[in-house]
Structure 1
Amino acid sequence: MAQFPPDAAVQAGAVLVALGLDVLFGEPPAKLHPVVAMGHYLGAVGRRVSRAAGTVPRPGTEFCLGALGWCAGAALVAALAFAAGWTMEDLHPLAQIALLGVLLKPMLSWRMLRDEVRAVEAALAESLAAGRQRVGWLVSRDVSALSETQVREAAVSTLAENLNDSVVAPLFWFAVAGLPGAALYRFANTADAMWGYMGERAGRDWTWAGKWAARVDDALSWLPARLTALLIALLSAGRGWSTVVANAGLTPSPNGGWPMGALAVGLGIRLGKPGVYELNSPGRAPLAADTAMALRRCAQVVALLALIAGGALLLSLGARP
């Protein structure tokens, strides 16, 4: 009888299934997508734990309410993921691989990220206004005054940062703690995206209510972000690792600068956010060809992860008596 958490062969096989489903089909329908359900929970709870913009702040109360709301949602997500895995323990290993892969797929998203970045470049080919509008789907800031170069920098930076958030980190936590680990990370990352703001957003003030969500996401992303940077650097022939390390601390995020810096250095381009940071400042301004190269480099990282999973599967099968 198989056991849960699944053994290495089942986990590795599930990673291959999940990546294959992602490349072939992309995202499941919204009504069936667990991350959409997480978003509904966070939206409903967020309106209760945060305060209306302009009202009197209550730092301690808001922080505690935000932390409690986050913990309740995280416990529910982890419990559901564990229960789903537990129901598979008596199934044939091939059935476990298939079902676990199907459940893992929504916790990662490479195809959608790739397609969105491609769409920004296609929009830029039409006009600067179209490019600004399209990149506005990817970043939570005012894009109305961005130049063509800045639009492209925003898209490539998002690609690098979300390669970690949407692919490497979920798979890292899946390797560490199975489906509950991947689901918990996806909940934490979604919570950070919705709650982790310093100041006002959508009429609510998140300075204190979102602090717990932001810090937990930082902690869970810490090691995966550095692994993502290392993978990018390895596929760039190890180019400029010392420069990557030096640039990583230039961003407000303790993690985002690692994959963004690695991609900038590996491609020899400059990536920045006006008035906030500039990575690999000696590099050239990115061109359309650099967006295509950035997409290829990130696709190579995904392919390398699939190769690692395939190798782990073969080794696990070879080690069985």
Structure 2
Amino acid sequence: MRASSDTARGLLLGVALDAVLGDPRRGHPVAAFGRVASALEKVLYADSRSRGVLYAGVLVGGAAGAGAVVERLTRGRPAWRTGATAVATWAVLGGTSLGREGRVMARLLEEGDLEGARGRLSHLCARDPAGLDAAALARATVESVAENTSDAAVAPLLWGLVGGVPGLLAYRAANTLDAMVGYRSPRYERFGWAAARLDDVLNWVPSRVTGLLVVVCSGRSEAWRVLMRDGGNHPSPNAGRCEAAFAGALGVRLGGANAYGGRVERRPEMGDGRAPEVRDIRRAVRLSAMVTWAAGALCAR
């Protein structure tokens, strides 16, 4: 599928803006959306799937509608369309922030600051950091960088390719809602069901494209072999594709026991290499950045 030249230029420019500027410290549009979502949750919440469908539909539909207004206002104005797409792309991408958090974790672990690293892990994932040693924190970081390369970069770019500004905004809205209410807990098991399933659907193709881009960018046949063998073993229909490809590309073994709020999940191992080490975090961050740029170039071809 080819985007219009205006949209394609905007997507690539947005990748460049994210690389240069990263996320703003204050006033991020996604944070503003999160506040709206939290306020609406107070109004609509019930232990009900139907309420969750309404909640997700209003917010994701509203984001797509806002994007449609932008596209209508910029119709017939190529420079404005390119600029609007670039700003929207910058707003929804998180690749630079993902890399920054990965490097922070690497620095803390390199300095032997385990408590600092445990406190910082929540910026990357919901895993319980209590009692994790340097090796476990390194594995958690590498796995999070791998999975979020799709969520933070490849998926929004692909949805921007398919749907322009509405696609960009709708994807980020759905992914944000999944992070807010999509996990299994007594409160959100029913109410968050729609958000979680919608996020799964929207990430099905991007996660697999991410796996393929990891293979191409790493240039390692092992990445392809592990992706094909282990990518479907993960409980998530999407995360395993990214993690397996990264495992093969980095020559490490991912997976194992993870604790989430007192609940332990044991996940199949992916890859045949050694356990991840602290030095592998920076390698994962570099690979993630390469994949992000490759996705941008693919969408802007």
Tell me whether the two structures share a fold, i.e. TM-score over 0.5.
Answer: yes
The answer on whether the counterparts of 1:163 and 1:298 sit within 8 Å (CA) in structure 2 is yes
Quote the residue 1:109 is aligned against: 94
User: Is 1:251 the equivalent of 2:234?
Assistant: yes
The answer on whether the counterparts of 2:213 and 2:291 sit within 8 Å (CA) in structure 1 is yes
Could you tell me which runs of 5 or more consecutive residues in structure 2 were left unpaired when the two chains were aligned: 258-264
The answer on whether the counterparts of 1:109 and 1:166 sit within 8 Å (CA) in structure 2 is yes
The answer on whether the counterparts of 1:13 and 1:309 sit within 8 Å (CA) in structure 2 is no
Give the direction of change, closer, same or farther, for the CA distance of 1:281–1:176 in structure 2 (3 Å limit).
Answer: closer
Give the direction of change, closer, same or farther, for the CA distance of 1:123–1:29 in structure 2 (3 Å limit).
Answer: closer
Secondary structure, aligned partner of 1:277: strand
The answer on whether the counterparts of 2:102 and 2:282 sit within 8 Å (CA) in structure 1 is no
The answer on whether the counterparts of 1:174 and 1:181 sit within 8 Å (CA) in structure 2 is yes
Taking the aligned partners of 1:8 and 1:64, their CA distance within structure 2 comes to 37
Taking the aligned partners of 1:215 and 1:90, their CA distance within structure 2 comes to 36
Could you tell me which runs of 5 or more consecutive residues in structure 1 were left unpaired when the two chains were aligned: 1-5, 52-57, 313-321
Quote the residue 1:265 is aligned against: 248
User: Is 1:292 the equivalent of 2:282?
Assistant: yes
Q: Deviations over 1:111-145 (max 9, x none)?
A: 10100011011111232222211113222131111
Q: 1:97 aligns with which of 69, 72, 82?
A: 82
Q: Show the 5 A alignment for 1:233-248.
A: 233-240=215-222, 241-248=224-231
Count the aligned residue pairs. Answer: 291
Quote the residue 2:29 is aligned against: 34
Percentage of identical aligned residues? 32
Matched to 2:250, the amino acid is: L
User: Is 1:43 the equivalent of 2:38?
Assistant: yes
Quote the residue 2:8 is aligned against: 12
Taking the aligned partners of 1:303 and 1:7, their CA distance within structure 2 comes to 17
The answer on whether the counterparts of 1:149 and 1:286 sit within 8 Å (CA) in structure 2 is yes
User: Is 1:170 the equivalent of 2:156?
Assistant: yes
Q: Show the 5 A alignment for 1:87-236.
A: 87-91=73-77, 93-126=78-111, 127-200=113-186, 205-236=187-218
Q: What is the TM-score of this pair, normalised by structure 2?
A: 0.91
Cα shift at 1:281:
4.9
The answer on whether the counterparts of 2:135 and 2:277 sit within 8 Å (CA) in structure 1 is yes
Q: Deviations over 1:127-168 (max 9, x none)?
A: 222221111322213111112111011111111111100110
Q: Deviations over 1:153-186 (max 9, x none)?
A: 1111111111100110001011111110111110
The answer on whether the counterparts of 1:46 and 1:195 sit within 8 Å (CA) in structure 2 is no
Give the direction of change, closer, same or farther, for the CA distance of 1:149–1:187 in structure 2 (3 Å limit).
Answer: same
Q: CA RMSD in A?
A: 1.9
Matched to 2:197, the amino acid is: R
Taking the aligned partners of 2:270 and 2:98, their CA distance within structure 1 comes to 23
The answer on whether the counterparts of 2:70 and 2:84 sit within 8 Å (CA) in structure 1 is no
